[in-house]
Structure 1
């Protein structure tokens, strides 16, 4: 058997660019895994994936022409069935051996072994290894079937293909060529109606020759690059594009809009390589050539977000910024050809982008002819959800909720928060947002400033969508924060109220993202808001008959009105639980243990900004020598109080006259001394000191459980001891439920 490197290529029509990278990786990895499974390649074989708009290929090192022989063990039947009393083969065994083409003369060649249930007979043999032609055929079929194809096409094969006549083939794009080389030798395999050869095609216009003969597997990439004007490696092509756009930007004394300015050089390089636009352009070209273009400066009067989105989304251009971060009238084109005279390519792209920018300018000019205020009534004609009314009704709810939240933070914020919330959705009706939905909020800010509204209101209109994704920035001001909270809480309560909560990995309304946004704002903005309270406010707003009636009258133009079924308090509880679940996940990702998180969140802290301090206090408490004993004692106290029932409350009075045993007197005295210290520290937000003040209770608590019978025969003594334990429980669990730390 011989060992050589293997090259397999599928030559196809243009593949979907957003799926190209995954298709290339999946094709190569599945092919290699199948060959490794057939013992035709070693587990440490190097696999190189190639992917261009017109090909998927894989290069695999040290592939065998024939796999080594392999041991085969065939279970025949139990010994008791296969052998008679004399140890000779029974008719059943002879029949079984005959079916396998084996002789039954010498049963001594059979192996006896226990199969997990009984002693059985096994036949051991050596099977020849698979040939590369057979193994690669199966691997190729598997790799093609396993491709993550976004949408399959059906097309017909002509009579000159491997399969005669008209045959329907299903694949991501029509395939026109198959290469399979083991070293210099063609491997006789077929796929998609094609028979493997050594011929492929290079660039449509730039190739020095067509077709291209690949001399051997190792010559593939070099032949395509030198003779075919194709960079076959996706990663190499991506790096070449990044190198060229950076070089051109530096030559023009500009910086790339897609390059994060706040990152270090190494991080910038990595971020740029992973940029969605860079990735998409890499999947669109085989022979990248970056060229500079420009447009008329008059278009810079349009908000730069519009121009940037137009160039990137529609034309796949790279906008360029000046040192201050302002958009310039220069951009970069990634062409797929390298002509002697590049001017024609540049001018052609400049002609193409001009109408796009003109459209953006037209929308911007037209939109400013109407104020945001004048667009509000039109929201009553836009359905938000068939069970939650129109966008107009939703705006009324968000405005009312924003006003209520602002009232808790400061009366002066109520008017601007309500105003911003009422205008926040108006830009959905503008031409610019209709063309580019990604600009919702952003355009609202520009139009609000044009209408003469205060900057804090304009900023809030843009910021009420923030944070849009993990790691996104938060609203920049108090008004924006209030409106963003109101918008997300209105969405959460509304959709939970109609039963549209997330299930498994399905979250069509992005409610997990909304919940995380609420959590981040409450914590990172250090807002003194009780999470239960603001959720309940949102429920009340949804149940407000006046809002529903006003929205109905505006939308229907009549007074006939039927109030929707109100959301009950269970809706608020569901949303609250959902937020705590999301918070628990965030905290675990930050490195806190499940026990620490459970101990803190089981107390349902209302001010989420203080959760981090509680966790730090719990961690510091856990390091104390008294922690384990107190956690165990606290769990015992919890169980006793649970059995005692709801009649025993944390504020039950302890009668000193009924403290008969010295151990319960000592515990009461120690608690009377430690509790004021712990409570004072708790009120000051010093949760660490609050928990550490309780460490002094370890000895009296241990003595109490050793010497005192809680369930005394005297009902008065029993009730007094339960009251003492309830007071102890209340003192120990203000910061966190310490019993949850017992297994930490």
Structure 2
């Protein structure tokens, strides 16, 4: 394998800089030629520049790979990096060996003292960790399989699914196969064998989420359901090995799971001795964040935000929303959640149901944490939505304004980008929800009421929120220039921005729409260049001297109430349609008068007309940002 030779043309300095008046090469030309590895006489003039034409001789592919593979390894990213050994090399897992072959030849390189080669090892037990000498890429998979290592993750996945389904079916059940858990097992195993295990049916008295979390989160076992979708006292484990000594292996799995269930039952039974409401005092002893206080303080802020923003009334059930906020963080003080943190919210709902709380309250205790991951569902209920929104706003404002934390690049240890994303996604669903400014102000006041003062250096809340809103609009198909136009207009009401995006995506390209955009752009462009203060009201009719001014004033007086009312009602289609009447008067105005007249009074009257028109256009979008093709 060998690279082809490559003709390379490099542009150098301009001709005037490359040669003096007598035509002799200057130092600039000589330096350029030296850099390109050719004599200065070999430089050629192409147009106004000198160029160097060289032939780059191709290199052996193995030599090129030997140089770039170590750098490629450094570019591999992981959720968590670690340092292995005494050096500073960061990688996700320990580095043991590198198999690097091009055809049948080793690609030679060394990383952290480990030289590449063709040797790896087979399965630790089934092949007794013996060395496998890989002959070529073509034999790689077969040689590893002969050593009881399946190299293809797709094959391992198919085998896991087949074994899990078969083992569960053998007891009349169905394996609960979540994609995430299947993926985890795929990359934890080399040679797949499914093992059916069982546990004491008495444990089925525990809430299903407790059992599933112990099986899935801690042991990577697949639960087994019966015909009625209730759990059976069985599980399927995936062993990275063969079928020898399966009874011993099964006994080990069952023993470990029994210990997990015993602990869970102990904590659960102890938690059930008191209700959630009786545990609220415990949140005073659990710190939410060192500078932001305890979970009890956070609970107080949630209640305050719900009330100050109108979210309590928006839910349609203020009493349930207030109760849910009061209990929101209490399950974090339970022993079962302290032992199994993945159950936060889930156990809040379970305990609330057992305590006789309403379904609205119980469901909200879970929904406050939704979405948990990317792609997860948003809260469905109004109370859950209000609680989730208040919780994210409290967290975002607290960390950015009162701690001074801010995400840096891809690093976001406090989940602030995700919190901003959830806020925008929730607000996009209903125009009746409070605006961003009202939410941020309420959260800020809630912190200050608890005696906290803003950090000297604060993170930029609006940058995070705008970034998510931009992404949301683009995900829904809005062009980049339309997104720019929308974000240059008021975007406090997220659902309003989404509605305007859906309307304008098509309407601006109709005949009337194009005329409106062009007129609005002419207005915006001239106002953008004005340095003096703009009038905030329409000029009186007797201050106008030309027919074009008077006609434009008449149209503005006629349509302003109509447009403002449509905007107030959220009827953006009517507002945009009404603005079409302004296009012709504005065009005639620009053709018939000089806006920047020398007389200050005349100039201010004319600017007042344009400013009034701009105040009607801008609540929809800054149309000057649109690129009309």
Pairwise TM-score range, normalised by the shorter structure: 0.7 to 0.9
Q: Are 2:82 and 1:151 aligned?
A: yes
| SS at 1:604 equivalent | coil
State the match for 1:423 in structure 2: 327
Within the candidate set 177, 193, 208, 1:258 is matched to 177
State the match for 2:161 in structure 1: 242
Contact 2:70/2:109 (<8 A) preserved: no
Within the candidate set 546, 559, 565, 2:453 is matched to 565
Whole-angstrom CA distance in 1 between matches of 2:109 and 2:410:
40
Whole-angstrom CA distance in 2 between matches of 1:663 and 1:176:
82
Distance apart, 1:705 and its partner CA: 1.2
The count of aligned residue pairs is 603
Whole-angstrom CA distance in 2 between matches of 1:110 and 1:741:
50
Distance apart, 1:480 and its partner CA: 1.7
Change (3 A) 1:219 1:475: closer
Q: Are 2:151 and 1:221 aligned?
A: no
State the match for 1:45 in structure 2: none
Q: Are 2:382 and 1:458 aligned?
A: no
Contact 2:370/2:388 (<8 A) preserved: yes
State the match for 1:700 in structure 2: 585
Q: Deviations over 1:313-354 (max 9, x none)?
A: 222211223455433322111122333563343233222211
Contact 2:520/2:624 (<8 A) preserved: yes
Q: Are 2:434 and 1:529 aligned?
A: yes
Q: Deviations over 1:536-591 (max 9, x none)?
A: 222221222xxx3xxxxxxxxxxxxxx433689x98x9535542342122212322
Within the candidate set 391, 410, 415, 1:505 is matched to 410
Q: State the TM-score, normalized to the length of structure 1.
A: 0.70
Whole-angstrom CA distance in 2 between matches of 1:384 and 1:622:
48
Whole-angstrom CA distance in 2 between matches of 1:120 and 1:742:
37
Change (3 A) 1:118 1:452: closer
Name whichever of 485-494 and 653-662 sits farther off.
653-662
Whole-angstrom CA distance in 1 between matches of 2:51 and 2:617:
64
Within the candidate set 42, 51, 69, 1:112 is matched to 42
Within the candidate set 390, 393, 398, 1:486 is matched to 390
| SS at 1:320 equivalent | strand
**Where do residues 24-423 of structure 1 align in structure 2 (5 Å cutoff)?**
40=1, 112-114=42-44, 150-154=81-85, 173=94, 175=96, 183=104, 201-207=121-127, 218-225=138-145, 227-259=146-178, 272=179, 275=180, 277-322=181-226, 324-339=228-243, 342-406=246-310, 409-410=313-314, 413-423=317-327
Whole-angstrom CA distance in 2 between matches of 1:723 and 1:191:
70
Distance apart, 1:177 and its partner CA: 9.2
Whole-angstrom CA distance in 1 between matches of 2:90 and 2:385:
52
Whole-angstrom CA distance in 1 between matches of 2:616 and 2:249:
77
Distance apart, 1:623 and its partner CA: 1.0
State the match for 1:734 in structure 2: 619
Distance apart, 1:645 and its partner CA: 4.0
Within the candidate set 612, 615, 618, 2:498 is matched to 612
Q: Deviations over 1:16-53 (max 9, x none)?
A: xxxxxxxxxxxxxxxxxxxxxxxx367xxxxxxxxxxx
Distance apart, 1:138 and its partner CA: 5.8
Q: Deviations over 1:235-260 (max 9, x none)?
A: 3323322333244445555444334x
Whole-angstrom CA distance in 1 between matches of 2:101 and 2:64:
13
Change (3 A) 1:212 1:406: same
Whole-angstrom CA distance in 2 between matches of 1:518 and 1:193:
49
Contact 1:641/1:648 (<8 A) preserved: no
Q: Which runs of 5+ in 1 are unaligned?
A: 1-39, 43-67, 74-92, 94-99, 101-106, 157-167, 260-271, 549-562
**Where do residues 519-558 of structure 1 align in structure 2 (5 Å cutoff)?**
519-544=424-449, 548=450
Whole-angstrom CA distance in 2 between matches of 1:126 and 1:196:
28
Q: Which runs of 5+ in 2 are unaligned?
A: 10-29, 31-36
Change (3 A) 1:714 1:464: same
Whole-angstrom CA distance in 1 between matches of 2:206 and 2:509:
60
Whole-angstrom CA distance in 1 between matches of 2:388 and 2:296:
17
State the match for 2:567 in structure 1: 682
Whole-angstrom CA distance in 1 between matches of 2:475 and 2:571:
24
Within the candidate set 455, 471, 474, 1:588 is matched to 474
Q: Deviations over 1:152-192 (max 9, x none)?
A: 43389xxxxxxxxxxx9999547479796954x88999888
Distance apart, 1:377 and its partner CA: 2.2
Change (3 A) 1:216 1:373: closer
Whole-angstrom CA distance in 2 between matches of 1:713 and 1:127:
69
| SS at 1:507 equivalent | coil
Whole-angstrom CA distance in 2 between matches of 1:485 and 1:291:
43
Whole-angstrom CA distance in 2 between matches of 1:629 and 1:174:
64
Q: Are 2:594 and 1:709 aligned?
A: yes
Whole-angstrom CA distance in 2 between matches of 1:692 and 1:662:
25
Contact 2:428/2:494 (<8 A) preserved: yes
Change (3 A) 1:115 1:374: farther
Contact 2:122/2:149 (<8 A) preserved: yes
Whole-angstrom CA distance in 1 between matches of 2:455 and 2:134:
70
| SS at 2:190 equivalent | coil
Whole-angstrom CA distance in 1 between matches of 2:375 and 2:129:
49
Q: Deviations over 1:3-28 (max 9, x none)?
A: xxxxxxxxxxxxxxxxxxxxxxxxxx
Contact 1:405/1:534 (<8 A) preserved: yes
Whole-angstrom CA distance in 2 between matches of 1:367 and 1:714:
81
Whole-angstrom CA distance in 2 between matches of 1:613 and 1:485:
20
Change (3 A) 1:257 1:523: same
Change (3 A) 1:720 1:488: same
| SS at 2:511 equivalent | coil
| SS at 1:524 equivalent | coil
State the match for 1:648 in structure 2: 535
Aligned-pair Cα RMSD in Å:
4.4
Contact 2:314/2:433 (<8 A) preserved: no
Distance apart, 1:142 and its partner CA: 6.2
Change (3 A) 1:686 1:137: closer
Contact 2:175/2:222 (<8 A) preserved: yes
Distance apart, 1:289 and its partner CA: 0.9
Distance apart, 1:301 and its partner CA: 1.6
Whole-angstrom CA distance in 1 between matches of 2:559 and 2:49:
68
Larger radius of gyration: 1
Whole-angstrom CA distance in 1 between matches of 2:102 and 2:534:
83
